[in-house]
Structure 1
Amino acid sequence: MNGNNETLNSNAYQARMNVAREQFARREDVQQLFNSPLDPELLNLFMIHWCAMSAALTTPIPEYLATAGVRCEALGLTDLAEFFKEHTEEEDGHHEWAAADTHKLVKLWNEQQPALQLDAEELLFTNMTASVRNYHQLHRDVVSGDAPWAELAIDVEIELITTQYGPPLLKACASALCEESRKSISFLAEHVNFDFGHTDTNFRVVAELIEAKPEFTAHLVSIGERALDTYGDFLGEALHLAKKSYGVLERNRTAVGA
């Protein structure tokens, strides 16, 4: 199986997922985050909530990938099993990384915003939100179901979101956040840099899989669509929580006449 550049980007999976990716881009929350300027304080709050929720989001991912690898090995999908094994190692410890950024961002926020003091530990304690639980459930459904190989679609789509939407978010942060805060979003920044290198590999693995198993295509697309919907909800919930915090900030300022 040798996927060339054309088959990497124009196979049946890519053609059908491009439609879903366009729908993702049209989501109201995605439009608000990436296509309209956010108030700097609101963007700062979004990054705090996103990091705190990301700590919960990423905690069990190595376990899901490892399970997918074991089950794919049992199904004779040895190349895909190796892919999941390598990816398992890459994802290890990401929850600690996101938590560390949360602490840094909250510390800086509290130094600059006396009208709204945040508690990093509380944010991390309450970070198992509805969208995080739904994202975990999607992984569990896949790796424990009849098609553990469909975990590949989740990997492909989530990492593609990072490469497409991460750079404009970093650019917005560069304008809105102070220098120390910009240094404290390393979880996002390093993922953007790292996942760019994954795109061609991910697309190649998909192309090779559906070349060998074209009957897998429809289910891969179905899971890829669910992944986009679920992660879109995650972004939307982080934005919603940021807006709630922003509202408290404004009310507190009004109360003290600031």
Structure 2
Amino acid sequence: MTTAEKAKIHQNQYQKRCELLRQEFASRPVVKEIWEEEVEPTLLKLFMIHWCALSAGLTEPIPVYLKRAGDGCQDLGLQEMADFFYEHEGEEDGHENWAIEDVENLVAVWNKEESNFPLDAKELLANKMSPAVKRYHQLHEQVIEGDSPWAELAIDVEIELISTTYGPTLIKKWVASMGQHSLPNISFLHKHVVADVEHTETNFEIVDKLVSEHPDYTDILVETAANALNSYADFLEDAMTYAKEVYARMSNVTV
């Protein structure tokens, strides 16, 4: 791919219109709190535990959504899009297990360090379907069951872009606070950052080809992207809210 071709995939109408949406996501208070402010180590641990638990609920059905989106695109004669979703389906399979393992490991460490305020990994995972997680799944269902299953691409693009844009900073913050030895306990985050770097350029190429061939798809793609970004910001708020609830109870007990 030439330099001009690479530049083009970042300058189509989808990318230009989504840039503002991504800026709005970055301005959400919970995003600024986690990525721009100093998070007290105990609260950071609790956030990561709850984020991983909710991530298990967020990611579990993704392969099924991708398969259904592929089927929908195939029915519409969009074979290239269908093939993209089918391939991505295999790549996403089993990712919830990374999050589950992280919850178990993080809670085990927490219970050793905070024996007076133990957490239950099974209970956390039993409550992995927070309100924001449920809304995120509703978004997938609306897109896949609607007239534009190809718009599932916008959800894929924006959520994986969050991994590559914000993931490295969160990993650095975690390691700076908890130490390098703790990195294996956040494998879900770490592995997604690595995997999604490779996916992002491919995703952008697919988007560019789709909007070049079907410019009338752009509005729906952008609308879906906005909903995906808002859903993920709400998801972060759920994780931080749950973390702060535990943190507040700990403070009351300490007092």
TM-score (norm 1): 0.96
Counterpart in 1 of 2:142? Answer: 141
Counterpart in 1 of 2:247? Answer: 246
Opposite residue 12 of structure 2, the aligned amino acid is N
Pair 1:79-2:80 in alignment: yes
Contact kept, 8 Å, 1:115 with 1:252, in 2: the verdict is no
String of CA shifts for 1:103-124, please: whole Å, max 9, x gaps.
0000000000123110000000
String of CA shifts for 1:24-45, please: whole Å, max 9, x gaps.
0000010001000100111111
3-state secondary structure, aligned to 1:185: helix
Opposite residue 229 of structure 1, the aligned amino acid is N
Pair 1:14-2:12 in alignment: no
Shift of 1:178: 4.3
Residues 1-258 of structure 1 correspond to what in structure 2 (within 5 A)? 4-254=5-255
Instruction: Give the Cα separation in 1 of the matches to 2:231 and 2:178.
Output: 28
Shift of 1:236: 1.0
Contact kept, 8 Å, 1:115 with 1:249, in 2: the verdict is no
Contact kept, 8 Å, 1:102 with 1:120, in 2: the verdict is yes
Instruction: Give the Cα separation in 2 of the matches to 1:69 and 1:205.
Output: 14
Instruction: Give the Cα separation in 2 of the matches to 1:245 and 1:76.
Output: 50
Opposite residue 12 of structure 1, the aligned amino acid is Q
Contact kept, 8 Å, 2:175 with 2:182, in 1: the verdict is no
Opposite residue 51 of structure 1, the aligned amino acid is C
Instruction: Give the Cα separation in 2 of the matches to 1:88 and 1:149.
Output: 14
Shift of 1:181: 3.2
The alignment-based identity, stated in percent, is 46
String of CA shifts for 1:43-65, please: whole Å, max 9, x gaps.
11100000000011111111110
Opposite residue 149 of structure 1, the aligned amino acid is W
3-state secondary structure, aligned to 2:10: helix
Instruction: Give the Cα separation in 2 of the matches to 1:89 and 1:248.
Output: 41
TM-score (norm 2): 0.97
Instruction: Give the Cα separation in 1 of the matches to 2:84 and 2:212.
Output: 17
Opposite residue 191 of structure 2, the aligned amino acid is E
Instruction: Give the Cα separation in 2 of the matches to 1:193 and 1:172.
Output: 17
Give the count of matched residue pairs: 253
Opposite residue 206 of structure 1, the aligned amino acid is V
**After the TM superposition, which segments of 4 or more aligned residues of structure 1 sit over 3 Å from their partners?**
178-181
